[in-house]
Amino acid sequence: MGRSVTPKYRMEVKTNVGYFTPSIWRGRATEQRLEVAVHAENKSFLPGGVNAHVANNLGAVPYIYKAKIINQMTGEVVAEYNAPAFQAF
């Protein structure tokens, strides 16, 4: 059997349709990188995006409005994103 390695960081998000399963975060954990990742993920849920099937299954287009990167060992939030009150794609 192989070995199991716990990633250093995880990303947790809140969306307009609830919470998503926490996911691994690779690389430097900065607020700028988190914002770029959230914008890319939100665009992927739109029609024609790679995650459009998720929107189809939910019956609504998910929109991430809050995200944070957490250090797995300490539980410390190292980066956080809060969407602005209004945003257009």
d(C-alpha 43, C-alpha 5), whole Å = 30
Which pLDDT does position 40 carry in this prediction?
Answer: 96
- Identify each DSSP E strand in the chain by its residue range: 9-15, 18-19, 23-25, 64-71, 77-82
> Could you give the number of structural domains in the chain?
1
Give how far Cα 69 sits from Cα of 6, 43, 47, 66, 89, Å: 15, 20, 27, 11, 24
Both tokens of residue 2?
A: 């192989």
pLDDT in tens, 2-47: 898 889 999 999 999 988 889 999 999 999 999 999 999 999 999 9
Structural domain contains residue 87:
no
Residue 1 lies in a domain: no
pTM: 0.87
- 47-73 confidence digits (pLDDT tens): 999 999 999 999 999 999 999 999 999
Q: Which residues constitute the domain of residue 37? A: 9-82
4 part of a folded domain? no
